[in-house]
Structure 1
Amino acid sequence: MASTPFFGKRESPVLPTRPSPHASLTGDAPAAARASDSPPVAPPVEGVPLSPVAEASVAVPGGSKLIVGPNIKLKGVEITDCDTLVVEGLVEATMDSRLMQIAEIGAFKGSAQIDIAEIRGSFDGDLTVRDRLVIYGTGKVTGTIRYGKVVIEEGGQLAGDISVGTSERARAASPLPALQRAA
C-alpha cells in the first residue's frame, strides 16, 4: 500500500471534463470549453445610473480590511486605520473608517464615524455617516444618527435622534426647532 504524504505536494488526478449545459448545439468544442456554469454578468451600461442600493456597494481597492466573522465577539476596542470593516459577528467598539458593512447576522454597538455605511444587520449607538447611509430591508439602525445621504430599502428600520448633515453647524442651521427635529 503506497502512502501519500500528509503535508506535502500531492499529484492531483486528471479528471475528464464534462460538456457545459451552455455549450453550443453545433458541437463546437472550443465554445463548450469556454462556457461556464455561472450566468454571465452584464457590465454597467455607461450613462445608465445604478439603483442607489446597488451603487452603494463599493469596496475600497487595496485598502486595509477587517472582517469580524460569524460567532466572533469583539468588545471594548477602538478601531483605527481601517478602510473597510465587515461585521458578521458582534462588535462593541469605537471606530473611524471609510466603509462599514454589517451583514444580516452582524451587529455593531458603539460609536462610528464612517464615509459609507451599508447595514443589513443591526447598528445601535452613535453613527455619523459622512457620505451615504444605506439600510437594506433586513437592517435596523437605532441611536443618534447623522448622515449626508440616506437610502432605506423597503423593510429597513431607522429610529432615534436622526438628522441630515454630519456636523453641529448643519444641525444648528436647520430651520426646524429642536423639538420638531427630535420627533
Structure 2
Amino acid sequence: MALQTPFFGKREPEAFGVRNNLAQAQALAPRPQPLPTPPVAEPVDIPVDTVAVQPPAKATGSTLTVGPNIKLKGVEITDCDTLVVEGTVEATMDSRLMQITAAGAFKGSADIDIAEIHGAFDGELTVRDKLVIYATGRVTGKVRYGKLVIEEGGQLSGEIAFGTAKTVPVKAPLQSIAA
C-alpha cells in the first residue's frame, strides 16, 4: 500500500492567516474621496448676428411632427399650433408656427403666423407675422409676408408680396362735380 495524505487533514495555519490579513487590510485601506466640482463660469454677453444663431421658436400647444422618410399627402391640417416637417407634406393648412427642417419639404398652401424654412416650400404661402428663410431654405410660389428675413444663401422666388391682407379693390361710385 502506498502512503497517502489523509483526506481530512489539518489546515495550514498560514492560509487562515492570509485571509484574516486581507480582510484587515481592506478594512484599514483609505476610501477614495469624491473629486471636487469645478467652478461654474459666469455667462458672457457676446454680440452676435441674431439671424444666424437665433434658435427656432418654441413649440407650444398641439404639435404635428412629420418625421424623416414620412410622406403625408392630400390632407387638410387644421387645429394644429405647430407643424414640424422633417419628411414630405402635400397639404393645405392653417397654423400658428411651421418649421421645415433641412431635409423637409412642403407642397401646397399654408396660412401661418410664423414660418421657419430650412428645407423646401413650394406653393402658396401666407405668413401673417414673420417668414424666416435660412441658408439651406428654398421658397417658391406665391408668397405673402408680414416681415421677411432671408439668411445668406436662402432662396425666394415666385410671386412675392408684402402684407397679408387679401383685399379686393373697391370701386368708388361715380361722382359728378358741379362747376
Q: TM-score range by the shorter chain?
A: 0.5 to 0.7
Tell me which residue corresponds to 2:56: 57
Q: Does 1:149 align with 2:147?
A: yes
CA offsets 1:93-142 (integer angstroms, 9 cap, x no match): 00000100001110000000000000000000000000000000000000
Q: Is the 8 A contact 2:106 2:120 kept in 1?
A: yes
Aligned to 1:120: 118
Decide whether the 8 Å contact of 1:144 with 1:161 is kept in 2.
yes
Structure 1 residue aligned with 2:162, among 164, 174, 180? 164
Contact 1:56/1:118 (8 A) holds in 2: no
Contact 1:108 1:124 in 2 (8 A): yes
- Residue 31 (str. 1) matches residue 37 (str. 2): yes
| Structure 1: gaps (5+ residues) | 1-26, 173-183
* TM-score between both structures, scaled by the size of structure 1: 0.66
Say how many residue pairs are matched. Answer: 137
Change (3 A) 1:73 1:149: same
Alignment identity in percent? 62
Cα displacement (A) at 1:168: 2.4
Change (3 A) 1:155 1:82: same
Match of 1:92 in 2: 90
Contact 1:132 1:150 in 2 (8 A): yes
Match of 1:129 among 123, 127, 130: 127
* Structure having the higher Rg: 2
SS of match in other structure, 1:129 = strand
Aligned counterparts of 1:89 and 1:116: Cα–Cα separation in 2? 19
Partners of 2:135 and 2:153 within 8 A in 1: yes
Distance 1:119 1:69 in 2: 16
- Counterparts in 2 of 1:55 and 1:41: CA distance versus 1, 3 Å: farther
Structure 2 Cα separation of the partners of residues 108 and 41 of structure 1? 42
Instruction: Quote the offset at 1:55 in angstroms.
Output: 4.5
What is the aligned partner in structure 2 of residue 9 from structure 1? none
> In structure 2, the residue corresponding to 1:31 is in which secondary structure?
coil
Aligned-pair distance for 1:167? 1.1
- Alignment check: 8 A CA contact 2:51 2:151 kept: no
Alignment CA distance shift 1:70-1:154 (3 Å) = same
